[in-house]
Each structure stands twice: as C-alpha cells, then as structure tokens.
Amino acid sequence: MIGPAVVFKITLMGEKLCLITKIQNAMKTINKIIPITLGYIIPLIAGCNKELPVASFNCPNTVGIGDTVYFQNTSEGANTFGWDFGDGTGSTEENPSHFYTERDSYTILLVATNEDGSDETSRDILITPWGTRALMPTARLGMGAAVVDGKVYVIGGFKDETSILDVVEVYDPVANSWNTKTPMPTARGGFGCAVVDGKIYAIGGTECGVVHLSIVEVYDPATDSWDNSTIIPMPTARNGAAACTVNGKIYVIGGTCQTGSLAWAGISTVEEYDPATNTWTTKQNKPTPGWGLRACVLEGKIYVTGGNVQYPNISAVLEVYDPVKDEWEIKASMPEAKYSHSICALNERIYSFGGWDNCATGPFYKKVEVYNPTTDIWTQGSDIPLTLGELSAVAVGNKIYIMGGTNTLHPFTRVSNVYEYMYEYEAL
C-alpha cells in the first residue's frame, strides 16, 4: 500500500500568513489551512533547506580470496565516509580497496555524511577459494609443471594443435611474478614431469602427435641449465603419460604409443627410472590403460585418475600404485569420466581440476572434485573460474596453483590464466 503524500505551501490570506497542507492518499484528498507566525516559519524553512547525503557504492558480487576488492563510491552530497568491510576492518577513504583473507560472505556498510546529516547503505560480497594471479607470459596447453624450492617451473607445451614450445618460465608465488629461463632442448608437449633432488625431469611427450618421444631431459634450476646427453631414454616412447616421484625414483604410467588417428589407444605400461643408477625397470602394468590420465603422490603411493582408454571409452577410474609392493589397488571412481584434467595432493586429499570427456564435443568441465582416501569418497569443491582442459596444477605450501590450458574445445584456445586455490578442506 502506498502511504499518504503531503504537499504544503505558504501564502498570505487576508492579513494572516497561512500554511496550506494537502494530504493525498488513495482514498481522498484533505486540505488544511493553518495560521502561522514568523517564529514558526523560520525553522520550517531552515529545515526545508537541509540537503542530506545519499549513500551508494559499487563493488563485485564475488571475488577470489586474496584478490584486491576495489570499492567505487557513488554517493551524492557527502564529504566524509565510513566503511565497514564486515571482517572487523574499515576505512575512511572515499574509494578504498581491501582484500579478504578468509572465505566467507561479508556485508559491507557505507555511511556517507555531511553537515546536515548522514545516510547509509550496504551490500554483500562472496569470497571464493579462487584468487587471480599474474598471467603466465606464454599462453599454452599440455605443458609440464614442477615445483622446486617453492617456485613453479612451467615447461614446453603446445601453442596450438600444430605448434610446440620449448619455453621455460618460472613463477614466484610470494612475489606473484614470472621470469624466463633457458629453453628446453627439445620442444614438445604431453610429456611427463617429475622432480628428484631439486632437478626437473621432462620425459617423453610428442611433437603434435606426429612423433612420440622417449627422450629424457633434465633441468637444473640452480644453474639454469639442461642435460640431454647423459640420461638413458625411456624404454617405451609415448605421449600423454603421467610421471611421479617416490623415494627418489620416477614412475612413468600409461600414455599412448599410437600416431595418426586421434582415436589413440591408451597403454598400461609402467616404467621406473632410477637417477642414481641411470637405469629403467618395467613394473606391474596399470589395470586400466589410458592416455591423458593424471597422477600425484600421497603418503608414498601414486594415485592415478581418468584417462582416454580409446575413444569413446573414457575412464573415471581411480587406481592406486604401491611402489614398495609393485601392486595396484582400485578405489572409488571419479564422479565424471574425463581426461586432460589435472590433479594435485594437498592436506591428505586429492584435488581434480577441469578436463573433458571429448576434446571436440565435450562435456567440458570446470569442476573441482575432492577425494578423501580415508573414506574413499569423492565430494564437490568450488568450480574453477574458467572451464579448462590440458591445464597444470601444482601445490606450493597450503595452496594449489593452476595455470594455462585451453578454455575451448577443439580448435583449442590457449590461455595464460593463473589461479590460486585455497584448499576447502582441513587436513585429516
């Protein structure tokens, strides 16, 4: 229901100064004539000349944790401001900025004031686990990524379906900055990447599906140099394999040896490389073959997810390898069958990011799926800000960084985006 509207005017009626009020509502109009004196009208007129401020501002509805929030003050008629950011902090600046350190929903309050009074307004903002970080200098997909001394090294990859890269760039999460390093001797993508004693091993890969490789090249971040002459090649040339390090030895799992048709058949081959002796040993085959599968290490065991067995057979399987026993164990499958995703271990859980079921037709995922090895259960995390495939994910400290990939199905569109993910689950 609309309330009454009051209109008034001051006029001279005979020898008296009168206030005429007109009260209007939905039912009727009431006119009143009130004689007034000068002592009455002066404060009335003074009150009518007050100009109260109108508080208003703009800000994003959703922001990643650690990202700076910029507040645009659109208030009118105010000369001082008081901000409450909802997390126990505030500001008196006209257009402040702020960043939040905890995931939550916050109510921002603005009080705008002038000499005649004040007005206030508020709005909510949601802080998600995802923060945006400095763009990778070279956009790419299907690259290798590894962490040494708290820094992320991104190596090689694909520029597009027909071009490969040798570029090496290093990201410093503390400084949020990138630097370029010595290129990899052999340009390629789809290779395995593992770290032993502070050195990064780039193993196998492909030259855009035309030739699959067995080469092993080793990068030393301390000297910014590569060794591609002393390492014995991998026995099985392959692309799209996963590589992990356990107890100083590298395990290369799955992949494909097939060229030509994109309906490549995955393999189950597992080979162990010992840098101390520069030797390769064949291990127990993975139960489910596949390429584009992903692997990470948790408590001395290798967790391997998904993979393209041979299209249209895409796998959701989770299989766990024990290097000590040379045995495989099958665990609860991922909620979605996929390959070309990325996984990472943090806080005793496995995090899976993005990927697709078919690189040409989809479905194409921005999902985050979290595996609890204690309960053997997968749960849903907060989606990646961008749908991505052929991305990389690594853990640094208590955060995960995902970078690069493609945000389109075939034909691919390489991206340089970097996101910092604050884990959503405490350690078990």
Separation CA 213–CA 205 (nearest Å): 5
Separation CA 285–CA 165 (nearest Å): 31
Q: Are 101 and 90 in contact (CB under 8 A)?
A: no
pLDDT at 381: 94
Instruction: List the domains of the chain with CATH numbers.
Output: 5-48 (no CATH), 57-128 (2.60.40.10), 130-422 (2.120.10.80)
pLDDT at 43: 54
Separation CA 399–CA 410 (nearest Å): 30
Q: Are 368 and 382 in contact (CB under 8 A)?
A: yes
pLDDT at 250: 98
**Max CA pair span of the chain:** 116
Q: Are 294 and 306 in contact (CB under 8 A)?
A: yes
- Residue at 140: amino acid letter: R
pLDDT at 21: 53
Alpha-carbon separation of residue 86 from 112, 123, 196, 421 (angstroms): 17, 10, 46, 22
Write out the chain's pLDDT in tens, 428 residues: 344 444 455 555 565 655 555 554 444 545 555 565 555 555 555 555 689 999 999 999 999 988 999 999 999 999 999 999 999 999 999 999 999 989 899 999 999 999 999 999 999 999 999 999 999 999 999 999 999 999 999 999 999 888 999 999 999 999 999 999 999 999 999 999 999 999 999 999 998 877 899 999 999 999 999 998 889 999 999 999 999 999 999 999 999 997 666 568 999 999 999 999 999 999 999 999 999 999 999 999 999 999 999 989 999 999 999 999 999 999 999 999 999 999 999 999 999 999 999 999 999 999 999 999 999 999 999 999 999 999 999 999 999 999 999 999 999 999 999 999 987 766 55
pLDDT at 6: 47
Helix (H) or strand (E) holding 44: helix 38-48
Q: Are 334 and 378 in contact (CB under 8 A)?
A: yes
Separation CA 175–CA 81 (nearest Å): 33
